[in-house]
């Protein structure tokens, strides 16, 4: 699949105002959420490929469902939609879609985590 630079910019955009709205407009709570997101990110980068390798679709679906929600909560609306695509593919038993797009999805996720890390580093 792959994405253009413009698409990557859009997919990794963090709408901090949206994220703050989910955190009672508290910058402190928002930054804590970003830090938790980063911690979970490293775990997810290890777990997601393992789930696919083991054809453990149930846990894969649960993991990307969680990723969809937490991404939206911190303001990653476009990336949340990509996680939703993965979730719906799993629920629809479209496992070839997941397998064929996993590396691109994980590469994008790494870029998202780098953007989130930069926000945390600037606090």
**What pLDDT sits at residue 13?**
85
What is the domain partition of the chain in residue ranges? 5-121
Which residues, 6+ apart, have CB-to-CB distance to 73 below 8 Å?
19, 22, 23, 33
Structure-model confidence comparison of residues 61 and 7, the more confident one: 61
Backbone angles phi, psi at 3, to 5 degrees: -130, 155
- Residue 77: CB atoms within 10 A of its CB come to 16
pLDDT per residue as tens digits for the range 26-40: 999 999 999 999 999
Cα–Cα dist 64/85, whole Å: 9
Tens of pLDDT along 65-77? 999 999 999 999 9
Query: Domain 5-121 - what CATH class?
Result: mainly alpha
The predicted model scores a pTM of 0.92
Q: Check if the beta carbon of residue 9 is closer than 8 Å to that of residue 111.
A: no
Q: What is the pLDDT of residue 63?
A: 97
């Amino acid at each position: 699949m792959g994405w253009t630079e413009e698409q990557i910019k859009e997919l990794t955009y963090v709408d901090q105002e949206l994220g703050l709205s989910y955190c009672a407009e508290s910058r402190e709570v928002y930054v804590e959420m970003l830090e938790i997101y980063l911690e979970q990110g490293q775990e997810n980068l290890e777990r997601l490929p393992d789930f696919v390798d083991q054809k453990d679709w149930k846990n894969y679906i649960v993991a990307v469902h969680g990723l969809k929600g937490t991404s939206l909560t911190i303001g990653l609306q476009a990336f949340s939609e990509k996680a939703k695509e993965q979730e719906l593919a799993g629920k629809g038993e479209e496992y070839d879609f997941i397998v064929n797009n996993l590396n691109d999805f994980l590469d994008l996720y790494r870029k998202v985590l780098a953007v989130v890390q930069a926000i945390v580093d600037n606090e």
